[in-house]
Amino acid sequence: MTKAVNPIIPGFYPDPSICGVGDDFYLVNSTFSYFPGIPIMHSKDLVHWEQIGHVMDRQSQLPLEGGRHSQGLFAPTIRYHEGVFYVICTNETNGGNFIVTAKDPAGPWSEPFYLEGADGIDPTIFFDEDGKVYYIGTHPIIENRQYDGECHIWIQELDLETMKLTGKPKDVWSGSMRFVHWPEGPHLYKRDGYYYMLLAEGGTDRNHSVTMCRSRTIWGPYENHFCNPILTHRHLGKDYPVQCVGHGDLVETSSGEWYMVMLAMRPMEGYTTLGRETFLAKVVWENGWPVVNPGIGRLTDEVEVALEEWKPGKSVTESRRVYPFGEMEELGFEFVSLRNPDPEKYRLCPGQGLKLQYDTHTLMEEASPTYVGIRQQHHYFQADAVVLADSIWENQETGIVLLQSNAYYLRSALTENAGGEILLRIYLCENLEEKRIVEKVLTDVRNEIRLSLEVNGLTAGMKVICGAAETDVAQGIDIRSLTTEAAGGFVGCTVGLYAVSKIQTQKAAVYKNFIYKTQDIVVE
């Protein structure tokens, strides 16, 4: 027996899907317009998780050009069948619904097989006992639609040899209630002669929920569970600390225990910088239906898991992360960039650090600027970076950025003026409009400059260390605009480093290190 602490994967890890293979569990999440796409996690106890790679880690797999921040990859599903792992997903920017396969979940994964005729989003795949395979997806009702969010869940047979849909599609379900909004994210299971369909309903906001229906045949008719929704927090009020619960997936352990993963959000004062995170709940079956966290009926801070504790090599929940770039051969799986980054603009140089080539694409563009970051996973954290002073130039800017989207971010900007002085500027971008908060000429600049971003819930501050002098550049910056509630979309914040230029250049900003830590841990 071991104990999980919710969220089991904190920060921007939405739309979880899970599968079990023997005593191993694998989990994937949506990534939208971040690259690489679809992180894949591994665990043996459902409590501790280690990222082992990405499903979509090659440019050829993942065309994201032209997509908005909250487009790209929607709602992957991971399944295992007869020695092969399958991930089925939607690329909402380019290509539509697709399948990729792998023998090893750590990769490499195949090039995507795009499914002709598979309209809509949020696909899943189901392997029946008779050898047949089915595609289950969500598509909006077009003709005679009564309201926005009116959708059908549909099923069609899938030929894995040709990776094509066969036969005729059939609409089988439209949600648990009349006028339900956005029935989506279906997952299908078979248990005791019934086909059980798990759904997300109500939209991925405060009315989000998990519902279930079942049928004796895969084509229906499906009967509604009289206790729907089987999990939601929409009745707990706007001040409850965990909101927007939905988009679940079930997994059975080798000993017959059942659990559910799902997304939820942890707002502060009604605002969420972390995005949608991955949570865990216990499930039992009663009278042929699942009960989530029996006797409680909501998500809990802790979950008892009937599995032996397992320690990963590198946990995704580490509260202190130190990246000495000059000593690293490659960036960790936790690092992401935007859309389709040019790998030549990101170079780890032994004994020097991470070289970020200055690029004319800005953070404000729906493009692939030079940016590399990690997910914000805590409400209170500090991010430090040391940049070499001789890699800062006139007409170029580099620094730390807290990025919600291309339209909403907070960034520090080191640059050089015409007189050779190094300046530090702080910008807050809201709705594609940048406002300069402060500008400071740095003194006592030696070989290195340390930037320190501190986030305290819904405010942020910036410090700079030059030589022996530490200076508060800005404090108490209101970052409520960098939240889901203010900015919209489906993503949480990432924090990282960027390099932008007004002119074409081969110059690069050189970062010696990067540190992310919770505020209660002291940097040595």
Given the residues 184, 201, 277, 366, the one annotated as active site = 184
Residue 484 zone, left/alpha/beta (φ > 0; ψ -120 to 50; rest): alpha
Between the alpha carbon of residue 492 and those of residues 155, 379, 484, the distances in Å are 32, 12, 7
Between the alpha carbon of residue 54 and those of residues 22, 267, 390, the distances in Å are 21, 28, 35
The secondary structure of the chain in percent helix, strand, coil, rounded to multiples of 5, reads: 5, 50, 45
Residues 252, 258 contacting (CB under 8 angstroms): yes
Structural element, H or E, at residue 20: strand 17-21
Residue 482 is given by DSSP the state: G
Please identify which residue in the block is written with the tokens 């500008």: 439
Hey, what's the torsion of the CAs at 82, 86, 88, 93, to 10 degrees?
A: -160
Please identify which residue in the block is written with the tokens 């009315």: 207
Q: Is the peptide bond before 350 cis (omega within 30 degrees of 0)?
A: no
Q: What are phi and psi of 281, to 5 degrees?
A: -145, 155
Residue 104 is given by DSSP the state: S
CA separation for the pair 398, 371 (Å, rounded): 10
Residue 524 is given by DSSP the state: -
Please identify which residue in the block is written with the tokens 């997994």: 251
Residues 279, 246 contacting (CB under 8 angstroms): no
Q: Decide if 390 is catalytic.
A: no
Q: What are phi and psi of 136, to 5 degrees?
A: -125, 130
Q: Decide if 454 is catalytic.
A: no
The residue among 393, 371, 344 whose CA lies nearest residue 33 is 371
The residues annotated as belonging to the active site are: 15, 184
